Amino acid sequence: MLYCRLKLLFGCQLFMAKRKLSDRQRARVQQMQQRRLHKAERNKLNAETPVLSESDLGAEQDGLLIAFYGVYADIEDQHGSVYRCYLRQNLGTVVTGDEIVWRLNLRTNEGVIIAVKSRRTLLTRPTAPGKAKAIAANVDQMILVVASQPKPAINMIDSYLVAAELNQLKATIVCNKSDLLSAQDHQELLALLAIYQQLNYPLIFASAHIQTGLDDLQQQLKNHTSIFVGQSGVGKSSLVAKLLPAEIVKVDTLSPVGDHGMHTTTGARLYHLANGGHLIDSPGVRDFKLWDIAPEKIAAGFIEFRDYLGRCQFRDCKHETEKKCALLQAAADGIIHPTRLKSYQRILAILQAA
Ligand SMILES: Nc1nc2c(ncn2[C@@H]2O[C@H](COP(=O)(O)OP(=O)(O)O)[C@@H](O)[C@H]2O)c(=O)[nH]1
Ligand SMILES: [Mg+2]
Ligand SMILES: [Zn+2]
Over the chain (354 residues), what is each successive 10-residue block's mean pLDDT? 34 39 71 68 48 83 95 95 94 95 95 97 82 91 95 91 93 96 86 96 97 96 95 91 71 42 64 91 75 82 96 93 95 95 92 78
- Asked if residue 331 lies in contact with residue 186, where contact means CB atoms within 8 angstroms, the answer is no
Q: Mutation test of ligand 1: which of 151, 177, 238, 281 has the most ligand atoms closer than 8 Å to its C-beta? A: 238
What pLDDT shows up at residue 128?
77
Domain 21-46+57-116 shares a fold with domain 295-353: no
Residue nearest to atom 7 of ligand 1 (CA): 235
Q: How many CA atoms lie within 13 A of 20 on its CB side?
A: 5
Q: Which ligand is nearest to the CA of 208?
A: 1
Domain boundaries, the chain: 21-46+57-116, 126-286, 295-353
126-286: CATH architecture: 3-Layer(aba) Sandwich (3.40)
Report the CATH number of the 295-353 domain.
Answer: 1.10.40.50
Q: What is the rounded distance in angstroms from the CA atom of residue 202 to the CA atom of residue 143?
A: 10
| β-pair type (141-147, 225-229) | parallel
- Ligand 1: lining residues by beta carbon, under 6 Å: 176-177, 179-180, 207-209, 230, 232-238
pLDDT tens digit sequence for 212-247: 999 999 999 999 999 999 988 999 989 999 998 765
Element (H, E) at 164: helix 154-166
φ, ψ of residue 226 to 5 degrees: the values are: -115, 155
Q: Give the three-class secondary structure for 174.
A: strand
Q: What is the pLDDT of residue 282?
A: 82
Residues 6+ apart with CB under 8 A from 200: none
What confidence score (pLDDT) does residue 253 get?
A: 44
CB atoms within 10 A of CB 33: 20
Q: What is the CA radius of gyration of the chain?
A: 24
Q: What does the pLDDT look like over 116-154, one tens digit per residue? A: 999 999 988 877 777 888 889 999 999 999 999 999 988
Angstrom distance (rounded) from CA 72 to CA 69 = 5
Locate the ligand 1 atom nearest the alpha carbon of residue 149 and give its number.
10
- For residue 73, the SS3 value is strand
Ligand nearest to the CA of 233: 1
- Residue 159 Cα to ligand 3 midpoint, Å, equals 19
User: Residue-wise over 236-265: b if at least 16 C-beta within 10 A, else e?
Assistant: bbebbebbbeeeebeeeeebeeeeeeebeb
Using DSSP bridges, classify how beta strands 141-147 and 269-272 pair: parallel, antiparallel or unpaired.
unpaired
For helices 154-166 and 338-353, what crossing angle results, to 10°?
A: 80
What is the architecture of the domain spanning 21-46+57-116? Beta Barrel (2.40)
Reported pTM:
0.80
350 closest CA partner among 155, 153, 171? 155
9: left (phi over 0), alpha (psi -120 to 50) or beta: alpha
CA of 273 to the centre of ligand 3 (A): 44
